[in-house]
């Protein structure tokens, strides 16, 4: 309230380089990622914070300022990690003039100064600045033009058909493995058949 009464804007912010790359200011379009994650392969440049109080503490006011701070340290990707609001007490001095009757029927004036606390709302938007355009790099941009495509699934291999008994397989088809021979139920050599063994008993 005190800032608004004085006619000054409360919008402010900062951008601090913390990444391994230091770039000059960027003048092109800046992509906005509001989910806290940048595009794959983007290089982190630093942290960004913007804030405002009272009526100026809105997303419509803070977002353009956030993008400008990202571009100041060379970023073309603005990653918003969060927005928070808190309330603070700000002291404001008051000067009050009062009148009283002094000697010989005259009226005298006096002043007293006291401090009052005003509650103000501070809104902060914070995140990171990234870039997908490194000096000397070539190739397609790191920001994908659309959502990633799902991997292509290869079609299933056809199962070779087994021809009916007595028919030959068509030319070019895989040969059918031979069937296993039936189990040998003949008695061992030197022993009579099972029926004759029972009759001898």
Tokens coding 137: 């790099």
88-98 pLDDT, tens digit each: 887 778 888 98
Question: Which pTM value belongs to this model?
Answer: 0.55
Q: Quick one: average pLDDT of 34-60?
A: 92
pLDDT of residue 50: 96
Segment holding 62, helix H or strand E: helix 59-72
Mean pLDDT (the chain, rounded): 77
pLDDT of residue 168: 59
End-to-end alpha carbon distance in the chain: 121
At residue 147, the pLDDT reads 52
- Residues 167-184: pLDDT tens digits? 555 555 555 555 556 655
Would you list the domain boundaries of the chain?
Answer: 2-131
Q: Could you tell me what percent of the chain has a pLDDT over 90? A: 36
| Lowest-confidence region among 13-17, 129-133, 152-156 | 152-156
Give me the pLDDT at residue 47, please.
96
Q: What is the pLDDT of residue 125?
A: 95
Write phi, then psi, for 95 (nearest 5 degrees): -115, 125
**How far apart, in whole angstroms, are the C-alpha atoms of residue 42 and residue 144?**
11
Bridging pattern class, strands 43-53 and 107-131: antiparallel
Give the residue from 86, 85, 66, 88 showing the smallest Cα distance to 77: 66
State the residue for tokens 């379009």.
Answer: 29
As beta bridge partners, residue 103 has: none
**Does the structure show a pLDDT above 80 at 128?**
yes
User: Distance between CA atoms of 33 and 26, rounded to whole angstroms?
Assistant: 17
């Amino acid at each position: 309230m005190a800032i608004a009464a004085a006619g000054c804007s409360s919008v402010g912010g900062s951008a601090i380089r913390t990444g391994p790359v230091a770039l000059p200011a960027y003048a092109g379009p800046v992509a906005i990622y509001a989910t806290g994650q940048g595009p794959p392969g983007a290089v982190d440049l630093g942290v960004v914070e913007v804030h405002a109080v009272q009526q100026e503490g809105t997303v419509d006011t803070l977002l353009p300022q956030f993008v400008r701070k990202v571009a100041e340290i060379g970023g073309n990707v603005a990653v918003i990690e969060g927005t928070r609001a808190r309330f603070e007490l700000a002291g404001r001095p008051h000067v009050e003039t009062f009148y009283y009757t002094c000697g010989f029927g005259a009226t005298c004036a006096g002043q007293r100064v006291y401090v009052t606390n005003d509650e103000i709302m501070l809104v902060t938007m914070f995140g990171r600045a990234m870039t997908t355009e490194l000096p000397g790099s070539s190739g397609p941009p790191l920001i994908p033009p659309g959502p990633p495509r799902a991997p292509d699934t290869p079609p299933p291999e056809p199962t070779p058909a087994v021809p009916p008994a007595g028919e030959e397989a068509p030319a070019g088809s895989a040969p059918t493995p031979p069937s296993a021979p039936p189990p040998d139920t003949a008695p061992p050599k030197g022993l009579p058949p099972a029926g004759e063994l029972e009759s001898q008993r």
